[in-house]
Structure 1
Amino acid sequence: MDADAQGRVRKEIAEAPWVFVLMWLGFPLIGGALLWGLSRFVDWLSGQDWVPFEGLFDLAASAPEPYLTIGAIVVGVLLGLGLAFLGHADSLKVTITDDDITATRGGKSKKVATTDVTGAFRDGKYLVLLGANGTELLREKTDIPRERMRQDFIDCGFTWHEADPHADEWRRWVDGTPDLPKGGNALLRTRTKELKKMDPDLADIDKELRDLGVMVRYDKGKHYWRLSNRD
């Protein structure tokens, strides 16, 4: 939307509604169909030593019809609903107001003052907001179409870069890099360990890195870094 009742919200940028409709309808249907198909082979699968969770298939094979078919479909639908929930929760919504830009995902929000933003761009699937001296204020993954996001930011009066204006400054991080400020290597080691967790919490680490003037991005299992252009 372009404005709320008080005229404060300028844009809400999110996945198109049809994406969520497809997710909530499609995933349960696919899940139910897949497990129904699997249930047709449960007798054969229960006798194979190489099949994982063999005991589960033995239990399913002992179930009479129509309970086996009904149970398989119900479980498949529930699994599909679970995937739809996770997909919906992981989707990004960006709200631009007169005062700030808020990125919300899974009930967690990151807020950046509108006046601090000097430009925005897409780095692959990541939305990046830039501040003074090349500082990255926000880097969030999103599947929102790039062109729609680009136009919405331009409509709100922001400078949109067609590519990362600091692309040639990024360097691959190797532990012990001497060019990082004091404490930078330790923070990147901690960040690497945190990324191995199921639900990594990087906000505090990234803030500490930004305070040191270190920008960081993670691509294909490797960390890359650059320094902000501070005086």
Structure 2
Amino acid sequence: MNQETMIGLSKIEKALYWMIPPILGAVLGWFLPVIAEWVLTIPIVLLKGPLEFITSLNSFWVSVIAAVIGIIAGLFFSQYIFNEILKVFISDQNVRLLFKEKEEIIEKKDISTVYLENKDLVILGDSGNELYREQIESKKALVESAFKNHGYKWKEEDPFKNQYERWVADHPDFPSHINTLLLARERAMLENKHEEAKILRKDLAKLGVVIQDESKRQYVRMVS
């Protein structure tokens, strides 16, 4: 099978994402004068000056202009959503992963196992190292079928799930630089700095460290 299979939003989902935000933007814009008048009836209100200015203008043209702006804002929001959703292109030769306009290509020969952990698509290399991890919106059955149809080894769960150990500060089994990064990642998780924790996970994966998170606790295995 040489044809590429794409996993991402369905045609119906794409249509809804393109339609709903602009429609909502248009509706909110059209009723902006009415909303402004209602907000001004609240005893304590922020931005009172701009709201009074809106109500002082011709309500029809305010509605028209605000509706147009709402549609444009909705289209930008739709585009933002598309960029935030992982798209996976699977062929017999490789897997292309497109997320936030960044593309990564992993050759099939370098992939040992693919599985889903919660909503994360996880791709492991020959030595059990983590090659890729990102949240995917598609249903598990669809993802599993697509990978299997192209000859990739699919697992129902992490094949190394029994090899993780709870990480604590200055863990004696890990080098100091690994402990330093794991400590930084734990702090990021505790402070809800999700993007920082995600970056640190990738940095650690490059060093052969694979992590499972559970209630902001890190369970770790080292790839030999």
Under TM normalisation by the shorter chain, which class is it? 0.7 to 0.9
Quote the offset at 1:85 in angstroms.
Answer: 0.9
SS of residue paired to 1:109: strand
Quote the offset at 1:209 in angstroms.
Answer: 1.4
Q: Is the Cα contact below 8 Å between 1:28 and 1:78 reproduced in 2? A: yes
> Does residue 19 of structure 1 match 2:13?
yes
Give the residue type in structure 2 aligned to 1:165. Answer: P
- Equivalent residues in 2 for 1:152-231 (5 A)? 152-170=146-164, 173-191=167-185, 193=188, 196=193, 205-217=200-212, 222=216, 224-230=218-224
Deviations 1:176-205 (A, max 9, x none): 4444332123223555559738x75956x4
Structure 1 length-normalised TM: 0.79
Give the residue type in structure 2 aligned to 1:213. Answer: G
State the partner residue of 1:61: 55
Quote the offset at 1:84 in angstroms.
Answer: 0.4
Q: Is the Cα contact below 8 Å between 2:91 and 2:150 reproduced in 1? A: no
SS of residue paired to 1:115: helix
Q: Could you tell me which of 69, 76, 97 is aligned with 1:75?
A: 69
Structure 2 length-normalised TM: 0.81
Q: Is the Cα contact below 8 Å between 2:94 and 2:107 reproduced in 1? A: yes
User: How many angstroms apart in 1 are the aligned matches of 2:54 and 2:75?
Assistant: 22
Aligned length: 221
Larger helix proportion of the pair: 2
Deviations 1:18-60 (A, max 9, x none): 2111111111112222343453231131353543433432332
Report the CA distance shift for 1:155/1:190 in structure 2 as closer, same or farther (over 3 A): same
Q: Could you tell me which of 109, 114, 119 is aligned with 2:113?
A: 119
Report the CA distance shift for 1:39/1:167 in structure 2 as closer, same or farther (over 3 A): farther
SS of residue paired to 2:176: coil
Report the CA distance shift for 1:143/1:159 in structure 2 as closer, same or farther (over 3 A): same
Report the CA distance shift for 1:174/1:66 in structure 2 as closer, same or farther (over 3 A): farther
User: How many angstroms apart in 2 are the aligned matches of 1:37 and 1:65?
Assistant: 9
Quote the offset at 1:229 in angstroms.
Answer: 4.6
Q: Which runs of 5+ in 2 are unaligned?
A: none
Give the percent of matched residue pairs that are identical in Structure 1 and Structure 2.
26
Q: Is the Cα contact below 8 Å between 2:167 and 2:220 reproduced in 1? A: no
State the partner residue of 1:6: none
Report the CA distance shift for 1:76/1:168 in structure 2 as closer, same or farther (over 3 A): farther
Report the CA distance shift for 1:217/1:116 in structure 2 as closer, same or farther (over 3 A): same
User: How many angstroms apart in 1 are the aligned matches of 2:168 and 2:46?
Assistant: 39
